Chain A
């Protein structure tokens, strides 16, 4: 096995290893479209596109791609799943030519990047899309560093291969240097047509749920908890017409979960030398899957989240919502293989890779954990919590105060803007920035026929690990663990609060915001320069990873002026969550659930940043570079 040849085209001491083929490819500054006549492209590992010094070219192509020995049509960038790793450098200008070789329109969206509106890549919103045979040139200043990714914003292309990771080197020193790096892209693969998946969900929303509770489960629960408690539990769920097992609407019954495009049998392997300090750059590029990630035998030190440095946190497992990225430092000391295990949140399957000193090694695959079940707490019926105690950690089931965080660090910055807030002209005084939201009883608006139920009481659940996680006796990352490494610049109180309710109706497979499908919704208009508190209340029983384009959000997790910046945040069932953002980028920006099927079903809004001093900008596609 040929090892990487570092640094022919790279000046850096360290190099990035994405697989056996990466070294050679890394020396190319522009990868030209590869001929497909040479046969199927499967088996190829992602190349590296180095855009740090030169213009790069991405070709959107359809290829046959094989996973665990079986093929399907894939929409790819430069012929591989995932597409090539793109490297950029902070402080430079990126110039990326994207050529569409499909027979349908396509697009590339740069997930998490702060860039001019016209470069964001949402067809019909920020630009017209890329027609078949056309080339679109993305040109934008690179203003940030860290781990990001990019993907199609057209139809279901992202589901069938159109995604890739992006690393932006900092202009200054690397905040967390390591001896070696691997990119770990998690995704979900299906041999079905995604349109067919969507259609099936519209007809039978539990089509993919093969973990529904059966008559046998009923009797098992009766013998364990007694007839009264079991009946009461079933009546609670039945009364709401909801399923406790409805954790993921698309599951391992159709998905194969991938690491770097490889199925569990293909076993992608990342090499290391024992004793090295290794950085794993995780990206959850799935269309509809949350992953719980661990490497049995290795503590995981989270150093970066959403591309942004965070105060290091050592955990044994972390949950990745769709669209999130985490950089993790591991230091495997032993000369042996370790299994990198990313279990789907609903336990219906897993992605698996291996970290090893040499190719071909394997370590044990952890046993399947029990299926996760929702509880009444996930429905915002805190008073009924406890029927499913066996499934949960104690603080999930019993304590929704949200304020008694386990962290020793006090919320010491939370009060210092109170004075400023009292002076505000905009309505009632808002809570101090950076603090956790208060519990909130739901108002009378049930959001109509598009919404199947509201959380009676929405609470902050940032200190909870999440459904089915946290009771294994090891350390699990929680959102309250994340603190920005630097004090947030321009940290101040919000000018205005916008409250949005995440809504849905699983029986009809409808997903929306405030009960309104994107088609029927007006854009959310904010004034340029405003600082907005975006409060989201999840009135559904599902997790929704909400993603705002074009502007950083700051997650108010109780860390005061060290609250972490995010581009994507997971909102748990019955959770109330708040984020701050500065409306510092003109134009209409997409804001949506990153479950691709929820987005397609209507859980999408436009956040339109307007400058009232400028005339006639309502229909402009932003400021074009």
Chain B
């Protein structure tokens, strides 16, 4: 019965202060945009690129993880970022935090930490864009631009095209980086969304080292670039 209709301590609060709607809603997101196997010439590689966030509409905590691991030998690299993300305009989030890189195996082990600052969002004409600058613990500055675009062949069959490039402001010899544009990557992956959360894909990924970075690799008789067929999964929850 209507026993407690009159408010008690909350009498001074504004009306509605007790409504369940007043509680903040938190949402969580976990995704592997790419979880794939690259078939290259001599050795094959597993690559992954994922992200997760928790938060509300304006403020979120993000983690991003990306890396690759040889399937035949124990070397690879991993990059991990922990970021605070804030919606600053309808389509753009300002993100800032820390990035850790680690390279392991084959005697090339190296770790670096960075401060990261960037924008993540949706550009006009439906380009998903990430633009970041990084400052490492050795005071090396670099920048990265990533963009992707989806083309719907049908409601479930979707081609995602990607572009990524990195710029170093100075040489980082221990990582084999020369100043200027260091690399570029282009990819196209066609996925089939059995459900939105689960979509296997096939695609082609092409990458190339650029400029002085390419020179460094050539000097060491390394490969500066090439393409590979990829098979993978796009999953999220």
Measured CB to CB, the residues of A under 8 A from B are 118, 122-125, 127-128, 135-137, 154-155, 199-200, 202-204, 207, 210-216, 235, 238-241, 449-453, 505, 507-508, 510, 517-519, 522-523, 587-588, 599-600, 602, 604, 606, 608, 616, 618-621, 624-625
Contacts and interface: CB of A to CB of B under 8 A. Distances in A.
Contacts of A522: 14
A137 B1 CA distance: 5
A239 B27 CA distance: 28
A620 B90 contact: no
Chain B binding surface SS class: loop
Interface in B111-127: 122-126
B8 to A, nearest CB: 10
Interface string B160-201: 000000000000000000000000000000000000100000
A452 B14 contact: no
A200 B18 CA distance: 27
Contacts of B10: 619
B91 A241 contact: yes
21 contacts: A124-B22, A127-B2, A128-B4, A154-B20, A199-B27, A200-B196, A202-B27, A204-B196, A239-B125, A241-B124, A241-B125, A507-B91, A508-B87, A510-B57, A518-B16, A599-B21, A606-B16, A618-B14, A619-B10, A620-B15, A621-B7
B219 interface: no
Contacts of B87: 449, 508
A216 B153 contact: yes
B15 A123 contact: no
Contacts of B11: 616, 619-620
Interface string B67-96: 000000000000000000001111100000
Given A238-B125, A241-B122, A619-B10, A517 B2 contact: no
A214 B196 contact: no
Given A213-B152, A239-B124, A452-B90, A123 B19 contact: yes
Given A510-B57, A619-B7, A620-B7, A238 B124 contact: yes
Contacts of A125: 15-16, 18-19
Contact of B21 (A207, A452, A519): A519
A123 B7 contact: no
Contacts of A508: 57, 87, 90
B15 A241 contact: no
Contacts of B15: 125, 523, 587-588, 606, 608, 618-621
Pick from B2, B13, B58 the residue with the most CB of A within 10 Å.
B2
Contacts of B14: 522-523, 618-619
Contact of A207 (B12, B17, B153, B196): B196
A624 B1 contact: no
Contact of A203 (B12, B27, B91, B126): B27
Contacts of A123: 19-20
Nearest to B4: A128
B6 interface: yes
A221 to B, nearest CB: 14
Nearest to A505: B90
A200 B14 CA distance: 32
Given A137-B2, A238-B125, A620-B6, 11 more contacts: A125-B15, A203-B29, A214-B152, A215-B151, A216-B153, A241-B124, A449-B58, A449-B87, A452-B91, A588-B15, A621-B7
B85 to A, nearest CB: 12
B41 interface: no
B5 interface: yes
Nearest to A208: B196
Q: What 9 A-B pairs have minimum CB-CB distances, sorted nearest first?
A: A124-B19, A588-B15, A124-B18, A238-B125, A452-B90, A619-B11, A214-B152, A449-B87, A624-B5
Contacts of A136: 1-2
Contact of A118 (B5, B19, B122, B151): B5
Given A238-B126, A606-B16, A618-B14, A210 B155 contact: yes
Contacts of A450: 57, 90
Contact of B154 (A127, A214, A453): A214
Contacts of A600: 21, 25
A447 B126 CA distance: 22
B48 interface: no
Interface in B14-46: 14-22, 24-25, 27, 29
A118 B2 contact: yes
Contact of B90 (A155, A453, A604): A453
